[in-house]
A and B are shown apart, each in its own frame.
Chain A
Amino acid sequence: MATVHETLQDLRSEYVGEANENLGHIDRLIHRLDASPDLTALEQLHRRFLGLAGSGYTYGFPLVSTLGRKGERICAPLLQQAQALSPGRLVACRAVLDDLRAEFDRLQAAYTAGPWVRRGTSRTQPWAITLAS
């Protein structure tokens, strides 16, 4: 049976591996908000950023939390006032997204390079790795 540390490491790998899908959703929501004011999209964008703020550090990735919080704070006041994102705030959201992409790219690279070794056998989950003993 895997140790707690190994299980946590697998969860971290899974989290990093799933990030692109989440960032893709954020990208599409920003495009929707760029095309027209849409409170539903703004609410979803806020929730996505809040989710990253809450989960990043929990998984051991503090910068993900910091960036998620930054995005959340761009959206939250507008949501409370039912206002659309201004062009400036859209640019700020895109900048947060770019920073998140860069961070997850870095994490994905770190999780597929040494001193890690593959632990899982699944070829579809190349990030299933753990620390070399």
Chain B
Amino acid sequence: MRILIIDDEPNIRRIVQMALARVDAMEVLEAPSGTDGIRKARESHPDAILLDVMMPGLDGPSTLAALKSDPGTAAIPVIFLTAKAVLSELEQLRDLGPAGVLTKPFDPMALAGQVRATLRES
């Protein structure tokens, strides 16, 4: 399974890379911004995208909208990975139509299982 992580924080990209590649042998691609992530999604057609919400420039919701409006990427399941903790904010994110919403902080040893479960349920 090939996963694209879009997050402006290098320390989150690093630990997601470890959590998915080392724990579950997933192939992990990284992008540090929404714009870069959209380009990489078009080029590499990942099986799923883990998308940060609060990023400078193109934020998570805008990135999701751009991915959904592009026929080349519209079918790729997108999972928000957010540090937001307020329930109403998480519900607002779910209303945008991602495959799921996972929260930070997360257990790196359990992340791959959470991603697979979210994709199964979507």
Chain B interface: which of A46-54, A111-119, A123-131?
A46-54
Which DSSP category, helix, strand, loop or mixed, fits chain A's interface? Answer: helix
Q: A4-B18, A8-B18, A11-B18 are in contact. Are A58 and B108 (CB under 8 A)?
A: yes
| Interface range on chain A (Cβ under 8 Å from partner) | 20 to 34
* Residues of chain B contacted by A56 (CB below 8 angstroms): 105
Interface residues of B in 39-89 (CB under 8 A from A): 54, 56, 82-85
Give the complex CA separation of A53 and B12 in angstroms.
12
Give the complex CA separation of A17 and B105 in angstroms.
19
B105 close to A47 (CB less than 8 A): no
Question: Which of B11, B56, B85 is A59 in contact with, Cβ under 8 Å?
Answer: B11
* Residues of chain B contacted by A47 (CB below 8 angstroms): 54, 56
> A29: shortest Cβ distance to chain B, in Å?
14
| Interface range on chain B (Cβ under 8 Å from partner) | 20 to 34
* Residues of chain A contacted by B109 (CB below 8 angstroms): 4
Which chain A residue shows the least CB distance to B103?
A54
* Residues of chain A contacted by B84 (CB below 8 angstroms): 50
Give the complex CA separation of A2 and B83 in angstroms.
29
Residue from the set A7, A18, A65 with the largest chain B CB neighbour count within 10 Å: A7
Q: A7-B22, A47-B56, A65-B105 are in contact. Are A54 and B83 (CB under 8 A)?
A: yes
Q: Does A108 contact B (CB under 8 A)?
A: no
B9 close to A55 (CB less than 8 A): yes
Which chain A residue shows the least CB distance to B81?
A54
Q: A56-B105, A58-B104, A58-B105 are in contact. Are A51 and B9 (CB under 8 A)?
A: yes
> A73: shortest Cβ distance to chain B, in Å?
9
Give the complex CA separation of A11 and B82 in angstroms.
20
Which chain B residue shows the least CB distance to A48?
B9
B-binding residues in A (CB < 8 A)? 4, 7-8, 11, 14-15, 18, 47, 50-51, 53-59, 65, 69, 72
Q: Known A-B contacts: A8-B18, A51-B9, A69-B85. Give 12 more (CB < 8 A).
A: A4-B23, A4-B109, A7-B22, A14-B14, A53-B83, A54-B9, A55-B15, A57-B105, A58-B12, A58-B106, A58-B108, A65-B105
